[in-house]
């Protein structure tokens, strides 16, 4: 079994879900008392959020690159970055280490194409919805990516940073998210990417009018497969 290097803390709420899903998946596949071999580097999210809000992506890339080097030195065989937004600095991480980097957008795109869908909605932080680093990676797999309008993007982003990263799960916010997803469906989205790891704390297939692609679960499943291959 390979050792998984988890780069988390953005936020710790979703990183805890990664840890749970990966260990449950390894147990289910191997049985008995098996669990995953994991090394976790967990950053202070307040530092990351400050770098995001001040547009210091170079600084954020350097910080996560250093944490990735620590994971490699500690014995990780590959790296899983436990956040969608910070894949903006994925090139900084990849260039800092010699071990593989399991890109979340690639694992998500594979699940979408395997489902036979070609047009999907994307909800996440404003960085993920509005910038090209994530959408272009998905488009490279032949997908059409739709994002909410400006007012809806603001709602999605606010709920993430004011509620979900703090562990607050509100029925009112769930209703707002479902409304946004319904609007994306009306525009032609066949499914929707839950493109922020915390969104899975709020929305599931049972809530959504169209199939969801929960990036945390998909990333965790890909990490399990890579660790056991």
Residue positions annotated with a catalytic role: 83, 196
- Closest alpha carbon to 222 in 81, 30, 42: 81
DSSP E strands, the chain: 4-8, 38-42, 78-81, 119-123, 144-146, 191-194, 212-214
Using the CB atoms, write b or e for 176-203: b if 16+ within 10 Å. Answer: bbeebbbebbeeebbbbbbbbbbbbbbb
Alpha-carbon gap, residue 214 to 203, rounded angstroms = 9
Alpha-carbon gap, residue 225 to 228, rounded angstroms = 5
Residues 6+ apart with CB under 8 A from 70: 41
Q: What is the DSSP string of 154-197?
A: HHHHHHHHHTGGGT---HHHHHHHHHHHHHHHHTT-SEEEE-SG
Answer for the pair 94, 112: CB distance below 8 angstroms, yes or no. no
């Amino acid at each position: 079994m390979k050792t998984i290097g988890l780069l988390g803390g953005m936020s710790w709420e979703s990183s805890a879900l990664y840890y749970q899903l990966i260990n449950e998946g390894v147990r289910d596949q191997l049985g008995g008392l098996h669990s995953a071999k994991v090394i976790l580097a967990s950053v202070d999210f307040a530092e990351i959020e400050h770098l995001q809000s001040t547009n210091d992506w170079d600084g954020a890339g350097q910080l996560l690159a250093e944490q990735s080097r620590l994971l490699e030195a500690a014995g990780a065989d590959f790296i899983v970055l436990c956040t969608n937004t910070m894949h903006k600095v994925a090139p900084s991480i990849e260039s800092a280490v010699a071990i593989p980097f399991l890109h979340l957008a690639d694992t998500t795109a594979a699940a979408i194409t395997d489902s036979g869908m070609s047009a999907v909605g994307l909800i996440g932080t404003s960085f993920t919805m509005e910038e090209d680093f994530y959408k272009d990676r998905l488009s490279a797999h032949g997908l059409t990516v739709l994002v909410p309008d400006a007012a809806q993007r603001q709602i999605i982003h606010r709920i993430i940073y004011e509620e979900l990263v703090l562990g607050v799960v509100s029925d009112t916010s769930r209703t707002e998210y479902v409304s946004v997803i319904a609007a994306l469906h009306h525009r032609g989205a066949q499914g929707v990417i839950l493109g922020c790891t915390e969104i899975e704390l709020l929305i599931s297939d049972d809530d959504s009018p169209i199939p969801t692609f929960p990036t945390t679960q998909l990333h965790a499943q890909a990490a399990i497969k890579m660790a056991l291959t």
